[in-house]
């Protein structure tokens, strides 16, 4: 069974943050995907969603789910990332204080996406936006 779709993400909307990721999580559950895989997919998606909310005006989360592959693409219209290697470093962050006071901006977002996906690609053009592509191969079995 294959499922695909997308969610729009509105930047700055902290009250609805996580909405797209939790909906995706439900879809994965309904398809009977392995729990550990769902957790990994949800964590990577949530971090990507939060980045769109924190740093950009808007973005889109696209997903393609099949029995043997989960593909998540998050594309935004944000400021882009100047130095991707630096941004991938654990603890590196350009977040302003108010973001830290909301519990985010600790410089773990991109490392977390990479850690929880099997394949991770990031492409960014300063002034235009960033696209993150994450692929997760589901484990077999329910647990």
Partner 1 sequence: MKLKKIIEILDAVVLDETRDIDMEINWACATDLMSEVLYYSQKDSILLTGLAKSQAVRTAEIADISVVAFTRGKEPDAETIELAKKKNIVILITPMSLYLASGKLYAEGLECSPVTKD
Partner 2 sequence: MKISEVISKLQLTAYTRMPGGEELINNVYVSDLLSDVMANAHEKGIWITLQTHINVVAVAAMKNIPAVIIVNGRKPDDDTLKKATDEGVAILGTDMHAFEAAGILYNMLNG
Distances (CA, A) of 113 to 2, 30, 32, 90, 103: 23, 23, 22, 11, 17
Q: How many CB atoms lie within 10 A of CB 4?
A: 10
Q: Using N-to-C axis directions, what is the helix angle for 19-30 and 35-55, rounded to 10°?
A: 160
Q: In angstroms, what is the minimal distance from the CB of 52 to partner 1?
A: 15
111 binding partner (options partner 2, partner 1, none; Cβ < 5 to 8 Å by kind): partner 1
Footprint on this chain of partner 2 (rule: CB under 8 A): 90-91, 93, 97, 100-101, 103, 106
138 binds partner 1 (CB under 8 A): no
Q: How many CB atoms lie within 10 A of CB 132?
A: 27
Q: In angstroms, what is the minimal distance from the CB of 18 to partner 2?
A: 19
- What part of residues 62-121 is at the interface with partner 1 (CB under 8 A)? 100, 102-109, 111-112, 115
Of 7 and 92, CB closest to partner 2: 92
Q: In angstroms, what is the minimal distance from the CB of 134 to partner 2?
A: 23
Of 91 and 141, CB closest to partner 2: 91
Q: How many CB atoms lie within 10 A of CB 82?
A: 10
* Closest listed residue to residue 129, CA positions, set 46, 70, 73: 73
Q: In angstroms, what is the minimal distance from the CB of 100 to partner 1?
A: 8
């Amino acid at each position: 069974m294959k499922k695909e779709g997308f969610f729009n993400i509105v930047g700055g909307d902290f009250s609805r943050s996580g909405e797209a990721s939790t909906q995706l999580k439900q879809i994965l559950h309904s398809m009977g995907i392995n729990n550990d895989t769902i957790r990994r997919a949800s964590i990577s998606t949530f971090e990507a969603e939060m980045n769109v909310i924190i740093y950009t005006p808007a973005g889109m989360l696209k997903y393609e789910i099949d029995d043997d592959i989960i593909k998540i693409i998050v594309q935004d219209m944000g400021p882009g990332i100047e130095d991707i290697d630096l941004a991938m470093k654990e603890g590196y962050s350009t977040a302003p204080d108010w973001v830290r006071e909301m519990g985010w901006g600790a410089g773990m977002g991109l490392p977390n996406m990479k850690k929880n996906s099997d394949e991770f690609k990031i492409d960014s053009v300063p002034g235009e936006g960033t696209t993150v592509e994450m692929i997760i191969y589901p484990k077999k079995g329910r647990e």
